[in-house]
Chain A
Amino acid sequence: MKSLTRIFFLAGVPLILSVSCQKVIDIGVFNSAPQLVAEGTITDQQGPCIVKLTKTIDIDNFAGIPSVTGADVEISDSAGVKETLTEAGNGIYISNTILGIPGHKYKLMINSGGQLYSAVSVMPHPVTDFRLGIKKEVAGTSGGSPGTGGEPYQYRVSYAITDPGEYENYYRLVIFHNNMEISSRRVFDDKFHNGKVIEDDFVLHDTLNFRPGDLIEIDLQNIDRDIYNFFRTLRMATGGLSFLSASPANPLSNITNGGLGYFSACSVIKKHLTIPG
């Protein structure tokens, strides 16, 4: 898609010199009724399952996002396990015991001020083969973002996944740098590669932030189709090409009753890399 943006830019170039001036404008005051936003994940990994509840806010007043307190939040498993989450402050609710099992269906129930919301997600089975590689290369090489920071080099991460052929698979990559999440919206499916090896690569942005020896963790999440669609449309809504869409729309949420956000049951494979010298 990035290339497409560049094509549009390129198409404009001959017409340029005069082209493309930008300015900030005032488009007036908007009011919107606050809506509930949930971000919930249950995985097959040890550790608490976290649900974060916030609200929407008027666009011209984006200061602190209000968090939702005092809600009843419950996660249940198709096998009958059920747990009420504990409020940990700032709209964050955590579990103590429940652990995700691939193949099971999970349901999130939220009661906030008498309003009931729910979401369902089925935890996919994890893939068995996920391989990573990293190399340092000359900046501006194909696929890189030319000129970021002006460094003469960049880091390219490549990955390979052996896709199981029997189901449709959906994947999400979450990338951590020294335990800080730096990217979480890279999702893809196996439409073009069902049952084959999916190989791709990407460049780590802002090269200067990385030093040799830094730890990079990449979590491969096997997500269900609703979550794939949520992140896919989230990227459409926030990505570079959204201005070309005739009808911008909210990301496709799996939360009922007008709730926004997502509840994802996913299996995770964690792999680590070290920034080369």
Chain B
Amino acid sequence: MKGFMKRWILSCMAFMWVSVICGQNKFVVSGYVTDSKSGEELIGAAVSIQEIPAAGVYTNEYGFYSLSVPQGKLTIAVSLIGYEYLSVPVDITKSVKLNLDLTQKITRLGEVTVSSEKRNDNVTRNQMGIDKLNIQEIKNLPSFFGEKDVLKTLQLLPGIKSAGEGNSGFNVRGGTTDQNLILLDGATVYNPSHLMGFFSVFNPDAIKDVTMYKGSLPAEFGGRLSSVLDIRMDDGNNKKIEASGGIGLISSRLTVGGPLRKERGSFIVSARRTYADLIVRGLARAGVLKDTTLRDPKLYFYDLNAKANYRFTEKDRVFLSGYFGRDVLGLPDFGFDWGNSTATVRWNHLFNDKLFLNTSLIFNNFTYTISNGSTVDPINIVSKIRDFSVRQDYQYSSGHNNQVRFGFESTWHRMVPGTITGADTNTVFKSLPVSNSVESSVYFSHTLNLTQHLNINYGLRISEFSLLGDAPFFIYSSYNYADSAKSIVDSTRKVISYIRPEPRFSVNYVFNDRNSVKASYTRNVQYLHLLSNSTTGSPTDMWIPSSYNTLPEISDQYAFGYYRNFASNNWEFSAEVYYKSLFQQVDYINGAILNFNSNVESQLLYGKGRAYGLELLLKKKYGRFSGWIGYTLSRTERRFEDINRGAWYPARQDRTHDVSVVAIYEFPRKWTFSSTWVYNTGNAVTFPKGVYVIDNRPVLLYTDRNGNRMPAYHRLDISVTKQFTERKNYRSSLTFSLYNAYSHDNAWTITFRQNDKTGQIEAVQTTLFKLVPSVSYDFRF
């Protein structure tokens, strides 16, 4: 930990130095963009100068912007989806502070009105492979059991695919689900799902902004190969107390927010709890469910989000945010519960109108507990991942669209793969060794406009990972068995460390305000690896650090895109192609034992991967009618020496075609209709080719890994929302949704069994959800 402190101090000093040399003498307009009604800072609002089209910036994660301007009379313009366009004339004679208030266009729940302003951020922005979701967009779309879900809405975008029926796990550009970094107010969420993946842990009422980076990560992010999903919690209204909530079929939600002190600070508390257990109990007691052990089940999840912020001075603001969620599943003879908790303290400080600093202290903890319920041998096994992080992010603006970002991050991971409690004297199962590691990085990136048409961004992230001692470490000369452990290192010092540079580069050539092309190269490194041999994400999936045997995973992504807006920016079109090479990917030997195995690394195989594809998106952003059509053509393959005789084979998540169509139509103040339709090629799976007999019972014979395909998947969802007339500030709406509206038999699994009568082997397809209707009631006052 000493080395870590040293690095920490050195990095700080390096940054201070950078901030000193970057001085320039132009005037600066800077400030916060906020929501006029709630006073909340707005993320990603485009602030530009009408007289100088190329000079434009976006507000950062805290709603702050800084724009260098020449002397004279200028018009500052601000635009953001869902808000009225704002233009403010200013006469620049010196640097000024200008806080801008935007008025929401949404006057009723779920309503979006027509807009004709020019908004071409998608064309002019340097960043590629980025998707931003408007929370209102999420709320308008059909939902699964009435639960609006951030992660499932994201799956409707090109390049982002669902990990399975009704599943909140997702694959980005051929990556596995563990290659996504999911951040909630900066804290890593290791397991973002509830109820075996059917629901995500993000309660949409508590969320303000969702940004997804598909591989072309800005230098400030790292640690995962495929994507970063940056979710920011709502700050709460700093002008008046507000409450909102909803009642659905399986859960209810309530959110309360308001000022801590008017215009200086606000808070928000949001809670959600399911009552599925009550339904199960009812069904079991009424005799609908035969299994008698279901009569008194424990089965629920809950989420609690809380956040507060306070502006101490004009230049200092502190945010505190936290999340706590838990799933509880229990039968008389088996118990299982898990959950995440995160806490973040952030301090925004403005050194001057050009230099913005955010300092964060982050804590997160994921635990699961299994109790085996055996009457003879009761055992509780607890597994944990706990992180403490500190990070500083500096943003320096100078000149037109000339922005420098730099900072550092350091995280202490403590992973407890399995600690046993409550075992009787007859059990010798030892708790698995705890691993400690430190993951640190420093980064620098610079975005600048070379000409009016050309802007570039270059950056470098240098990451370092150290596995710390005190647990025994093994080196396996060959896989399969623990006895191949060659030597054992048992020390309390740093065991092994890796340093990996991660260069990032992107260029954007803007032909005119409607057309642009972008290209990027990104190298990402991932030091933590998820071991899971299951098709559905399970809480028992285990994270392991990089070690002697498991090297850091690396990906190189090359992407190229064309962006075009039509009809006064009401329509946008984009086409992106990407090619990704992946190294040090992890797979498992046949019959691998992943849980409670102190030699788990002896069960792993290492290989490489490649993924490439084309993503098309045509989107109508504004108007009564809005929506999009997304199409992805892609291939994802892996190559392991010991799988399929070393040949390239399709990864499970390889899907050739993926289509999504989203349409929303609104009658202002009355009704909203929306529908989504998805189609995708089935996953690559392994079907048996032959059969043989052991002990007079059939055993299936498998030949090639992932040599077969599930049937194509398609599904239509529709929903109708009725807004009721506003009464004394009380607004409410009722939503009906149909999931799988034409009740298609989508294959969740295909299994093989012997027919009792004919004795032949037959394939059986299980469909999880046919037509599922749901209803929910939402309110706000």
Residues of B within 8 A of A23 (CB): 745, 764-765, 767
A59 touches B689 (CB 8 A): yes
B712 interface contact, C-beta 8 A: no
Bound Cα distance A194, B428 (Å): 6
Q: A142 contacts which of B375, B587, B652, B769 (Cβ < 8 Å)?
A: B375
A238 CB-CB contact with B under 8 Å: yes
Report if A58-B693 is in contact (Cβ < 8 Å); known contacts: A14-B280, A246-B533, A247-B588. Answer: no
Closest approach, in angstroms, between the C-beta of A9 and any C-beta of chain B?
8
A24 at the interface (CB under 8 A from B): yes
Please give, as numbers and ranges, the residues of chain B lying within 8 Å of A7 by CB-CB distance: 196, 329, 331, 334, 336
Q: Does B63 contact A (CB under 8 A)?
A: no
CB nearest to A147 among chain B residues: B290
Interface residues of A in 230-258 (CB under 8 A from B): 232-234, 236-238, 242-252
Residues on the B chain within 8 Å of A15, using CB: 145, 166, 198, 250, 768-769, 772
From 176 to 206 in chain A, residues with beta carbon under 8 angstroms from any chain B beta carbon are 181, 184-185, 191-201
**8 Å CB contacts to A: which residues of B742-764?**
745, 747, 749-752, 754, 759-764
Q: Is the CB of A22 within 8 A of B687?
A: no
User: Residue A11 contacts which of B329, B705, B708, B754 (CB distance < 8 angstroms)?
Assistant: B329
Given contacts A3-B334, A15-B769, A22-B767, contact A59 B591 (CB under 8 A): no
Closest approach, in angstroms, between the C-beta of A174 and any C-beta of chain B?
Answer: 9
The residues of B that contact A18 with a CB separation of less than 8 Å are 769-772
Residues of B within 8 A of A194 (CB): 428
Does B591 contact A142, Cβ atoms closer than 8 Å? no
A47-65 vs B, CB cutoff 8 Å, 1 = contact: the mask equals 0000000111111101101
Q: Does B766 contact A (CB under 8 A)?
A: yes
A260 to chain B, nearest CB (A): 6
A14-B250, A233-B590, A233-B591 known; A37 vs B694 contact (CB < 8 Å): yes
Q: How far is the CB of A184 from chain B (nearest CB, A)?
A: 5
Beta-carbon contact of B428 and A20 below 8 Å: no
CA distance A57 to B691 in the complex (A): 5
- Residue from B587, B694, B700, B711 whose CB has the most chain A CB atoms within 10 Å: B694
Is B70 engaged at the interface, CB distance under 8 Å to the other chain? no
Residue of A whose beta carbon sits closest to that of B327: A11
Q: Could you say which residues of chain A place their CB within 8 Å of the CB of B687?
A: 27, 30
* A3, B333: Cβ atoms closer than 8 Å: yes
B60 at the interface (CB under 8 A from A): no
Which residue of A is nearest B372, CB measured? A3
Give the distance to chain B from A58, nearest Cβ to Cβ, in Å. Answer: 6
B299 is an interface residue with CB less than 8 A from chain A? yes
8 Å CB interface, A61-94 against B: 62-63, 65
**Cα distance A27–B688 when bound, in Å?**
11
Q: Does B373 contact A (CB under 8 A)?
A: yes
Q: Which residue of A lies closest to B540 (CB)?
A: A4
Closest Cβ–Cβ distance, residue A209 to chain B (whole Å):
16
Q: Which residue of chain B has the shortest Cβ distance to A236 in the bound complex?
A: B591
**One of B292, B706, B761 near A59 (C-beta < 8 A):** B761
Contact A6 B690 (CB under 8 A): no
Contact between chains at B532 and A10 (CB < 8 Å) = no
Interface assignment of B426: CB less than 8 Å from any CB of chain A: yes
- Please name all residues of chain B whose beta carbon is closer than 8 Å to the beta carbon of A121 when the two chains form the complex: none
Residue contact B705 to A250, C-beta cutoff 8 Å: no
Collect the chain A residues with CB atoms within 8 Å of residue B292's CB.
140, 146-147
Residues from chain B with a CB closer than 8 A to the CB of A55 are 692
Inside 8 A of A229's CB, which chain B residues have their CB? 591
Which residues of the partner chain A approach B241 to less than 8 Å between Cβ atoms?
Answer: none
| B373 in contact with A54 (CB, 8 Å) | no
Q: Mark B374-402, 1 if CB is under 8 A from A, else 0.
A: 01110100000000000000000000000
Cα separation A147 to B333 with both chains bound (whole Å)? 17
Question: Could you tell me the distance between the alpha carbons of A267 and B595 in the complex, rounded to whole angstroms?
Answer: 30
Residues of A within 8 A of B765 (CB): 22-25
* B692→A260 contact, CB < 8 A: yes
> What residues on A are CB-neighbors of B294 within 8 Å?
10, 13
Chain B residues with Cβ below 8 Å from A185 are: 695
* B690-715 CB contacts (< 8 Å) to partner A: 690-695, 697-703, 705-706, 708, 711
Q: Which of B196, B283, B291 has the most CB of A within 10 A?
A: B291
Interface size (B, Cβ < 8 Å)? 90
* Residue contact A14 to B276, C-beta cutoff 8 Å: yes
**Complex formed: what's the CA distance from A24 to B755 in Å?**
10
- Determine whether A143 belongs to the interface, using a CB cutoff of 8 Å to chain B: yes
Would you call B760 and A39 a contact (CB within 8 A)?
A: no
CA distance A260 to B289 in the complex (A): 41
Contacts A27-B763, A31-B689, A261-B694 given; does A195 touch B428 at CB 8 Å: yes
| Chain B residue contacts of A244, Cβ below 8 A | 534-536, 749
Instruction: Find residues 637-658 in chain B having any chain A CB closer than 8 Å to their own CB.
Output: 652
Asked whether any CB of chain A lies closer than 8 Å to the CB of B332, the reply is yes
Inter-chain CA distance A60–B761, complex, in Å, is: 7
User: A1-45 interface mask toward B, CB cutoff 8 Å, 1 = contact, 0 = none?
Assistant: 001101110111111101111111111001110110101000000
CB neighbours of B451 from chain A (8 A) = none
Please determine whether A30 and B689 come into contact, CB atoms closer than 8 angstroms: yes
State the Cβ distance, B56 to closest chain A Cβ, in Å: 46
By the criterion CB–CB under 8 Å, are B299 and A11 in contact? Answer: yes
Interface of chain B residues 555 through 591 with chain A (CB within 8 A): 587-588, 590-591
Verify A26–B702 contact, CB threshold 8 A: no
Report the Cα distance A192→B418, complex, angstroms: 13
Cross-chain contact A58 with B689 (CB below 8 angstroms): yes
Interchain CA distance A3-B371 in the complex, whole Å: 11
**A32–B690 touching, CB < 8 Å:** yes
List, in ascending order, chain A residues with CB within 8 A of B492's CB. none
For A181, the closest partner residue in chain B by CB is: B695
Q: A14-B250, A25-B750, A192-B427 are in contact. Are A199 and B691 (CB under 8 A)?
A: no
Q: Report the minimal beta-carbon distance from B314 to chain A, rounded to whole angstroms.
A: 50
**B691 is contacted by which of A11, A20, A62, A191 (Cβ under 8 Å)?**
A62
Q: Does B452 contact A (CB under 8 A)?
A: no
Bound: A196/B424 CA distance, A:
11
For B250, the chain A residues whose CB sits under 8 A away are 14-15
Is B496 positioned at the interface, with any CB of A under 8 Å from its CB? no
Complex Cα gap A261–B536 (Å): 30
A18-B743 Cα distance, complex, nearest whole Å: 10
Q: Which residues of B contact A192 (CB under 8 A)?
A: 379, 423, 427-429
Asked, given contacts A25-B750, A252-B590, whether A234 binds B699 with beta carbons under 8 Å apart, the answer is yes
Residue pair B767, A37 in contact (C-beta under 8 Å):
no
B293 at the interface (CB under 8 A from A): yes
Decide: B697 and A10 in contact? CB cutoff 8 A. Answer: no
Per a CB cutoff under 8 Å, which of B280, B291, B767 touches A20?
B767
Distance between Cα atoms of A35 and B726 in the complex (Å): 73
**Cβ of A16: which chain B residues have Cβ within 8 Å of it?**
283
Shortest beta-carbon distance, A250 to chain B, in Å? Answer: 5
A194 and B749 alpha carbons, distance in the complex (Å): 38
Whether a CB of chain A sits under 8 angstroms from the CB of B297 is yes
Which residue of B is nearest A195, CB measured? Answer: B428
Question: Which of A63, A142, A238 is within 8 Å of B697, CB to CB?
Answer: A238
B283 touches A13 (CB 8 A): yes
Residues of chain B contacted by A193 (CB below 8 angstroms): 426-429
Q: In the bound complex, do residue B428 and residue A142 qualify as a contact, i.e. CB atoms below 8 Å apart?
A: no
A207-225 to B contact mask, C-beta < 8 Å, 1/0: 0000000000000000000
Contact of A140 with B759 in the complex, beta carbons under 8 Å: no
The one of A39, A198, A242, A249 in contact with B695, judged by C-beta atoms closer than 8 angstroms, is A39
Please indicate the chain B residues that have their CB under 8 angstroms from the CB of A30 in the complex: 687-690
Given contacts A35-B690, A55-B692, A143-B333, 19 further A-B contacts (CB under 8 A): A4-B334, A8-B196, A11-B329, A14-B195, A14-B250, A20-B766, A22-B765, A25-B747, A25-B750, A25-B763, A31-B689, A59-B689, A62-B691, A146-B292, A192-B428, A195-B428, A196-B425, A233-B591, A249-B591
List 16 interface pairs A-B (beta carbons < 8 Å), by A numbering.
A3-B331, A6-B334, A8-B536, A11-B195, A13-B276, A13-B279, A15-B166, A18-B771, A30-B690, A35-B692, A63-B760, A140-B292, A192-B427, A193-B429, A234-B699, A249-B590
The 6 closest A-B CB pairs, nearest first, are A14-B276, A233-B591, A32-B690, A3-B334, A249-B590, A32-B689
